[in-house]
Chains A and B, each alone.
Chain A
Amino acid sequence: GAVVSQHPSWVICKSGTSVKIECRSLDFQATTMFWYRQFPKQSLMLMATSNEGSKATYEQGVEKDKFLINHASLTLSTLTVTSAHPEDSSFYICSATPGRGGLNEQFFGPGTRLTVL
């Protein structure tokens, strides 16, 4: 149980285009989903936290107009990288947790490798 999927697993796009990444919890309802970015040999950096039905909370330094997050249902969150540039190339990982508080573990998706040419 507790499986989180991401789609696509990798994407290559031209500079200036927008890319949408989907994150789905397959066998549980995810009240909260997190979006991370990870550069090679670096740690996971939290970009934003999204709770179903409300606006995402972005971390300091993350542009909310560039990284659009939608958490429309308890099983789906999407991250759209708008007007992508080469510096946005990274490994994007989502995670989901069934509860709003407490010590619930996070279940991570397999990640999406974005390459912007």
Chain B
Amino acid sequence: SQKIEQNSEALNIQEGKTATLTCNYTNYSPAYLQWYRQDPGRGPVFLLLIRENEKEKRKERLKVTFDTTLKQSLFHITASQPADSATYLCALGPQGGGYQKVTFGTGTKLQVIP
């Protein structure tokens, strides 16, 4: 069965540095991958989507890469700020695309230290 792995340990990073979060998956070939942000006690907020035929996607200070050979996505936040502290979830879209049911990873908690 498909498996999604995100670093369960919290990532602590100094303000201003680039934070890099990893999402690895096995036994699956998703048509797309999404990244969400979740604050404590709140629902996730969509950040970025990258398709299987895209290598990289950017949005303001965010950058996502998608390596279908390595079965890995990297999520980067440049010039990180304390307000970026949250849990970040990756979610895999279905194989072949279409119907938008996604499967979520467990998330990585990011703490940006002032």
A: residues with CB less than 8 A from B are: 4, 6, 32, 34, 41-46, 49, 91, 93-95, 97, 99-111, 113
Is residue B101 within 8 Å, beta carbon to beta carbon, of the partner chain?
yes
Provide the bound-state CA to CA distance between A89 and B36, in Å: 24
A42 to B, closest residue via Cβ:
B106
Q: With A42-B106, A103-B93, A105-B49 as given contacts, are A93 and B43 in contact (CB-CB < 8 Å)?
A: yes
Q: Count the B residues whose beta carbon is within 8 Å of the partner chain — how many?
A: 25
Dominant SS at the B interface? loop
- Docked pose: A43 CA to B107 CA in angstroms: 7
In the complex, the answer to whether A110 meets B42 with C-beta atoms within 8 Å is yes
B44 part of interface (Cβ distance < 8 Å):
yes
Smallest beta-carbon distance B29→chain A, Å: 16
Please report B residues at the A interface, Cβ cutoff 8 Å.
Answer: 4, 32, 34, 36, 41-46, 49, 51, 89, 93, 97-107
Instruction: Provide the residues of chain A in CB contact with B46, threshold 8 Å.
Output: 105-108
A49 / chain B contacts, CB cutoff of 8 Å: 101
User: Which residues in A have their C-beta under 8 angstroms from that of B4?
Assistant: 43
Smallest Cβ-Cβ distance to B32: which chain A residue: A103
Are the CB atoms of B100 and A43 closer together than 8 Å? no
Alpha-carbon distance A45/B46, docked complex (angstroms): 17
Within the complex, the shortest CB–CB distance from B72 to chain A, in Å, comes to 18
Q: Closest chain B residue to A111 by CB distance? A: B43
Contacts of A4 in B (CB 8 A): 43
Across the interface, which residues of B come within 8 angstroms of A43, CB to CB?
A: 4, 89, 104-107
Partner of B41, one of A41, A45, A99, A111: A111
Which residues of chain B are within 8 angstroms of A100 by Cβ–Cβ distance?
Answer: 99
